[in-house]
Structure 1
C-alpha cells in the first residue's frame, strides 16, 4: 500500500502531494502547502529530508530548501518558477543534480 501521509513533527502529518516546498528555519522547518497554508514544525530540514526520501519528487535545491518538482510551472536558466508564482534559485552546487533529476 502506498504511503499517503508523512509525519512532519509532533502529531502533524501531511500528504506529500499537497507540499510545495520545505524550508529550513534554524532548527525548525516551514512546510508550504498548495492551499497556501504554512506549517512551522520543530523538526530540522535534515530530518524532514530523511522522512521524504521515499518520495523521489522531493529534491533539495540548496542548503535550506527542498521542493516538490510536481509543483514547478517552468524553469529558466537561473530560477525555478512554481505554479503559485513563487520563484527560487538552486545553489550552484546542487543545480546540475537538480536539472538531471528534473529532466528525467
Structure 2
C-alpha cells in the first residue's frame, strides 16, 4: 500500500511505501523518515499523526521520539531496541509492555 501525503507539507516530494520505512524520528512538529534506500525525507507531520495512519502491528513506538518498523528489529529487550542496521533506541517505561506484546505477536 502506498500513501500519498496530499495534506502534508514536505521538504522533498516523494511517495512513501510503508515497508520501505525503517524508522521515523521526531523533530518538533516535523518528522524525519528514514528509508531502506538510505534516503531521509523531512515531512511536516508529527509522530502521532504517522502512528494513527500506519498499521499498529507493523509500526511500534518504543519511545517518545521514534516510530519503528517491526520488520527491522534485530533484538529487543525491556530497556532498548536494536535495529538491523545497528541503530539503538531506548525503550521508555510507559511503552515497554506494549512494545514487548507487539514484538511477541509479530515473532509468532
Measure how far apart 1:7 and its partner are. Answer: 3.3
Runs of 4+ displaced beyond 4 Å: none
Cα distance change of structure 1 residues 50 and 76 upon mapping to structure 2, 3 Å threshold: closer
Q: TM-score if structure 1 supplies the norm length? A: 0.85
Q: Which has the higher strand share?
A: 1
Cα distance change of structure 1 residues 14 and 99 upon mapping to structure 2, 3 Å threshold: same
1:21-100 correspondence to structure 2 within 5 Å: 21-52=23-54, 54=55, 56-100=57-101
Q: Which runs of 5+ in 2 are unaligned?
A: none
Measure how far apart 1:23 and its partner are. Answer: 1.2
1:12-23 correspondence to structure 2 within 5 Å: 12-23=14-25
Number of aligned positions between the proteins = 100
Contact 1:18 1:34 in 2 (8 A): yes
Q: Which runs of 5+ in 1 are unaligned?
A: none
State the Cα deviation string for residues 46-78 of structure 1 (Å, max 9, x = none). 2121211x3521011112211101001122442
Q: TM-score if structure 2 supplies the norm length? A: 0.82
